[in-house]
Each structure stands twice: as C-alpha cells, then as structure tokens.
Amino acid sequence: MAGEGYWTAWGAPALVDWCEANYVGSAYVAELLNTVSSIVMVGIALIGLWRVRAEGWRFMLGMGGLAVVGLGSAAFHGTLLRVAQAADELPMIWLGIGCVWTVTARRWSDVQARPWALGMILFGLAFMAAYATVPWAFALFIAVYGVMIAWVVVRTIWLTWGQSSTAEMRFYASGTLCFYLGSFFFVWLPEHVLLGCDHPLQALQLHSWWHLGSAVGTVCWWRWAAADHRRLRVIGG
C-alpha cells in the first residue's frame, strides 16, 4: 500500500507492493511486519542448516539458500525498491533450481548428473537475463517459480506415497504439504489475489504468515530430501 519514507528516493520502486501499510511504525522500514517475519525466516533456515550439517553439502546449501532468500525478502519488504525485489526473487529461483536438481538427479551418478546440473545453471543465468530486461519480470518470476515448485511437489508426493518410503520421509513430506502449500493456498493467494487490501482479514498481515509457513515448509522439504538420500544409500539406489 502506497506510502513514502526513507527509502522512497533511493531508486526505482519495486514492481509489486503488498497489503501491509507502508512506513507505519518506522520511517526507515517500508513494511515492518513483513520485514520482521523475513528476518525470522533467516533464523528458521539457520536452525535447519544446523540440523542437516551431517547430511552433506547439498542439504546445507539448500538451507543456506533459504537464509539468503530471507535476507533478500527483508531487504525487499524493508525498502520496496526494485533492486531489493530482485535480491528476494532471484535467490528464490536459484533455490527452486536446487530443489528441482535434487529431486530429479537423486539416483544419478556424478557423471550422469553433471550435464543436467550445467543445463540448470544455464537456465538460471538465462532467467536472470530475462528478469533484468522484461517489464513483466514479476509475472515471469511467478510463472517460472510456480512451475518448478509444482514439479517438486508432485515428485515428492509420488516418491513418498506412490513408492516405498520411510516414516521419516512421510513425516517431512506431510510437513512440506501442510506448511508450504497450506500457507500458499490459505495465506498468499488470499492476500495477493483473492482479497482486496481493504478486506478485514488483511488486518492479520497475511503475507508475513506466508513467510513463516513457507520457511518451515522449505526446511521440511530439505529434511525430506536428506531422508530420501539416506534411504537410497541404504538400499544401494
């Protein structure tokens, strides 16, 4: 919601503004609760990073990526500048690429996975180039990120309940669906798409709850991926 404060004159405004009133409570923070919840995301990611420290670099990288997303989100909501929006959304794309790579190449050897990893890196670089040039960058981000997450969710469901899996995998997959998809359908969509900013439910600051739910859901997913990785090592897959 429109409002002027400290960061207004610092550069081009972001392509999207959320329903939290701007610069209420502080002239230096555009969206206070959205910024605070983004910082909490960083804490959630660091807890996840500590919990997977013995699982391998790819899972630590995933949790670290979530922390970077939280920092970018804090910058975005704290300033509502275009450059800060990119600092939020581009790490989300790269984290999504990491999820797609992890769930797709889970049984591949390093030799088999290398061309796929190179292709994903080139895709990420191409996306960054398009994101920096097209005027509809936010719509592009939503479309690409949405497709990646949908693929990861479908694969996760299939690998968990369509095939044999462990109780740990089912637990963390359930957490992913509950927190990530639950917060998307019941918080993000109502806040940004279904309800106007003057709707009474917006007083609950729905977008800040999306930050928390998506962070917990993402941690659950990387814990699921780690459990799947351990299972494959046990069965020799």
Give how many domains the chain has, as a whole number: 1
User: 47 lies in which domain range?
Assistant: 6-235
Confidence (pLDDT) at 155: 97
Predicted confidence at residue 1, as pLDDT, reads 61
pLDDT reading at 227 higher than 90: yes
What span, in angstroms and rounded, lies between the C-alpha atoms of 61 and 39? 19
Cβ atoms within 10 Å of 151's Cβ, excluding its own: 15
In the chain, the amino acid numbered 44 is I
pLDDT band at 114 (very low <50, low <70, confident <90, very high): confident
Q: What is the pLDDT of residues 81-113, one digit of tens each?
A: 999 999 999 999 999 999 999 999 888 877 888
- Looking at residues 201-227, what average pLDDT do you find? 97
User: Does residue 237 surpass a pLDDT of 60?
Assistant: no
CA distance 87 to 69: 8
Q: Is the pLDDT of residue 3 over 70?
A: no
The model's pTM is: 0.94
Task: Give the three-class secondary structure for 81.
Answer: strand
* 70 pLDDT higher than 60: yes
Give the mean pLDDT of 4-8: 87
Residue 1 lies in a domain: no
Q: Is the pLDDT of residue 45 over 60?
A: yes
Query: Considering the domain boundaries, does residue 35 fall inside one?
Result: yes
Residue 209: pLDDT band with limits 50, 70, 90: very high
Residue closest to 82 by CA, chosen among 37, 45, 133, 127: 133
User: Does 63 score more than 70 pLDDT?
Assistant: yes
In a domain, 53, yes or no: yes
Q: What is the CATH number of the domain that holds 76?
A: 1.20.1070
Output the six-digit token pair for 5: 């404060």
Contact indicator for 33, 204 with CB cutoff of 8 Å: no
For range 162-185, the mean pLDDT = 96
Q: For residue 120, is it within any domain?
A: yes
The whole-angstrom separation of Cα 29 and Cα 25 is 8
Whether residue 221 lies inside any domain: the answer is yes
- pLDDT (0 to 100) of residue 199: 95
What percent of the chain lies above the pLDDT cut of 70? 98
* 125-156 tens-digit pLDDT: 999 999 999 999 999 999 999 999 999 999 99
Is residue 160 domain-resident? yes
130 occurs within a structural domain: yes
